[in-house]
Amino acid sequence: MKTDVAIIGGGPAGLLLSQLLMRAGISTVVLERQTRSHVLSRIRAGVLEAGTVQLLQDAGVGERMLREGIPHDSCYLTSDDTLMKIDLMEACGKQVMVYGQTEVTRDLYEAQDAMGATILHEVSDVALHDLTGDAPFVTFRHDGADQRLDCSYIAGCDGFHGVSRPSIPASVRQEFEKVYPFGWLGVLSRTPPATPELIYANHARGFALTSMRNAMLSRYYIQVPLTDRVEDWTDDAFWAELLARLPPDVAASIVTGPSIEKSIAPLRSFVCEPMQWGRLFLCGDAAHIVPPTGAKGLNLAVSDIFYLSRALIAQYSDGNDDLLARYGQDALARVWQAMRFSWSLTKLMHRFPDQTDFDRRMQVAELAQLAASSDARRLFSQVYAGLPY
């Protein structure tokens, strides 16, 4: 097999890159370890930055998102029972869009199918070769046979546990990581959302988040110790704890119901440098992980794809490799800004096991500054709604 760009990983990052490149006449092959049904069963983030919304439209996959997605002009933060509004449109002139990652992936699959894309599922034993030469290639096993894919470039979109990042020599890689001492217990329920906007709650009992996927599908989270298991939490126990962490008027508006999905996600901040090695380019979770506070994970993957697709299209259209040479530099500049925001918001809104009275006073002071200062709300809103590419 031969293609221009081999894409390792068939999640939203890999599919979006394939979509953008194919529209520019650049051939791709996508290799995915899981089945399509498994990829589409993943429950992930649902808040899209303004730039993500625009790039999905540019890729020709925005029609259903614009029809079914929920635009948000604001969000709320709480300090115990005090509710504070952050008006994004007033502060920075941008909205965010609530539209689930599963739906983004579904739209991309349909668009790729319509274009006749080559997407191979249930691929195993993937290995990357000759990354610093002029003719890299990928070996893998599919349908019971060993295969080879020759290409000009490789995009590693295969997540934190994929093969792409370890293919960069350990002597070259520098990895930065912070592991947080708690997780998020998330519940999905077929109930109307508590409020039209997201609420990030800082409470003495721990963090909570009220979110949604659509008018009859709600997503809620609470901070839990890393030692907790999903089996430790009945639906009734979850709802009781969530309501206890929200202001009384918000809690009174919540409609409870059976969970249709329940999981615990650990929180970490992680960045790998460099994001490129020879003809290998890392994208999304293969290069960086953010805590879900602030909803930057999918959005950072999309910004990586913006920079990489732009660079590859420039290379193939006029032989200009300047953007390709600085892909990692451009992507990392935005990654670290989003990393800082996610770390800062996590630190602001959660209760840490070793938190002192001084630490709590600093949280209160920072929340008070957001409430009192339009400049502080503007800076928050600019990153929350999405920094420009």
Q: What is the Rg, in whole angstroms, of the alpha carbon atoms belonging to the chain?
A: 21
The answer to whether 106 touches 40, Cβ cutoff 8 Å, is: yes
Question: What stretch of H or E contains 33?
Answer: none
Q: With 80 as the cut, is the pLDDT of residue 94 above it?
A: yes
Instruction: Name the residue type at position 238.
Output: F
Query: Cα–Cα distance between 272 and 165 in angstroms, integer?
Result: 8
Same domain membership, residue 154 and residue 277: yes
CB neighbour list of residue 268: distance below 8 Å, 6 or more residues apart = 177, 178, 179, 180, 289, 291
Candidates 12, 72, 180, 327; catalytic one: 72
Give me the percent of the chain exceeding a pLDDT of 70.
99
Q: With 90 as the cut, is the pLDDT of residue 38 above it?
A: yes
How many degrees, rounded to 5, is the angle at CA 47 between CA 175 and CA 334?
A: 35
Same domain membership, residue 229 and residue 306: no
Give the residue from 69, 13, 26, 6 showing the smallest Cα distance to 313: 26
Q: Which residue carries 């020879």 as its tokens?
A: 278
* Residue 78 is assigned to a structural domain of this protein: no
Q: Is 203 a catalytic residue?
A: no
The pLDDT-based confidence of 81 (bands split at 50, 70, 90) is: confident
Provide the sign of the torsion angle of the four alpha carbons 228, 230, 232, 235, taken in this order: positive
Question: What stretch of H or E contains 187?
Answer: strand 174-189
Q: Is 347 a catalytic residue?
A: no
Q: With 80 as the cut, is the pLDDT of residue 198 above it?
A: yes
Give the pLDDT confidence score for residue 209 in this predicted structure.
97
Give the pLDDT confidence score for residue 215 in this predicted structure.
85
The pLDDT-based confidence of 194 (bands split at 50, 70, 90) is: confident
Give the pLDDT confidence score for residue 320 in this predicted structure.
92
Q: Domain with 189 in it: what CATH number? A: 3.30.9.10
Give the pLDDT confidence score for residue 205 in this predicted structure.
96
Same domain membership, residue 218 and residue 108: no
Q: Which domain holds residue 225?
A: 180-265+352-385
Q: Is 384 a catalytic residue?
A: yes
Q: Which residue carries 């969000």 as its tokens?
A: 75
The pLDDT-based confidence of 41 (bands split at 50, 70, 90) is: confident
Q: Is 200 a catalytic residue?
A: yes
Number of domains in the chain: 2
Query: Cα–Cα distance between 347 and 349 in angstroms, integer?
Result: 6
Same domain membership, residue 261 and residue 191: yes
Same domain membership, residue 252 and residue 219: yes
* Residue 20 is assigned to a structural domain of this protein: yes
pLDDT, tens digit (0-9, with 9 covering 90-100), for 353-379: 999 999 999 999 999 999 999 999 999
Q: What DSSP string runs through 79-95?
A: ETTEEEEEEHHHHHS--
Give the residue from 313, 337, 333 showing the smallest Cα distance to 323: 313
Candidates 292, 307, 316, 350; catalytic one: 292
Same domain membership, residue 151 and residue 31: yes
The answer to whether 287 touches 280, Cβ cutoff 8 Å, is: no
* Residue 82 is assigned to a structural domain of this protein: no
Query: Tokens standing for 206?
Result: 């721990």
Same domain membership, residue 274 and residue 360: no
Helix or strand or coil: residue 370?
Answer: helix
Q: What DSSP string runs through 45-69?
A: --EE-HHHHHHHHHTT--HHHHHH-
Give the residue from 222, 187, 159, 196 showing the smallest Cα distance to 9: 159
Query: Tokens standing for 387?
Result: 């920094």
Same domain membership, residue 130 and residue 22: yes
pLDDT, tens digit (0-9, with 9 covering 90-100), for 54-65: 999 999 999 999
Candidates 94, 203, 288, 296; catalytic one: 296
Give the pLDDT confidence score for residue 213 in this predicted structure.
85
* Residue 34 is assigned to a structural domain of this protein: yes
pLDDT, tens digit (0-9, with 9 covering 90-100), for 315-353: 999 999 999 999 999 999 999 999 999 999 999 999 999
Give me the percent of the chain exceeding a pLDDT of 90.
95
* Residue 142 is assigned to a structural domain of this protein: yes
Q: Domain with 279 in it: what CATH number? A: 3.50.50.60
Torsion on CA atoms 165, 229, 11, 309, rounded to nearest 10 = -50
* Residue 162 is assigned to a structural domain of this protein: yes
Same domain membership, residue 320 and residue 285: yes
* Residue 84 is assigned to a structural domain of this protein: no
CB neighbour list of residue 14: distance below 8 Å, 6 or more residues apart = 7, 8, 30, 32, 155, 157, 158, 283
Give the pLDDT confidence score for residue 368 in this predicted structure.
95
Same domain membership, residue 127 and residue 239: no
Give the pLDDT confidence score for residue 42 in this predicted structure.
78
Same domain membership, residue 164 and residue 103: yes
CB neighbour list of residue 284: distance below 8 Å, 6 or more residues apart = 9, 11, 13, 157, 159, 297, 300, 301, 304, 305
Candidates 220, 307, 327, 384; catalytic one: 384
Q: Is 296 a catalytic residue?
A: yes
* Residue 79 is assigned to a structural domain of this protein: no
The pLDDT-based confidence of 302 (bands split at 50, 70, 90) is: very high
Q: N- to C-terminal Cα distance for the chain? A: 34
Q: With 80 as the cut, is the pLDDT of residue 254 above it?
A: yes
Query: Cα–Cα distance between 4 and 152 in angstroms, integer?
Result: 5
pLDDT, tens digit (0-9, with 9 covering 90-100), for 117-133: 999 999 999 999 999 99
The answer to whether 227 touches 374, Cβ cutoff 8 Å, is: no
Same domain membership, residue 228 and residue 118: no
Question: What stretch of H or E contains 249?
Answer: helix 248-253
Candidates 99, 109, 180, 200; catalytic one: 200
The pLDDT-based confidence of 162 (bands split at 50, 70, 90) is: very high
The pLDDT-based confidence of 134 (bands split at 50, 70, 90) is: very high
Long-range residue pairs from 69-74, CB within 8 A, at least 24 positions apart, any chain: 69/97, 69/98, 69/99, 70/97, 70/98, 70/99, 70/212, 70/214, 70/215, 71/95, 71/96, 71/97, 71/98, 72/47, 72/96, 72/97, 72/98, 72/196, 72/197, 72/198, 73/197, 74/197
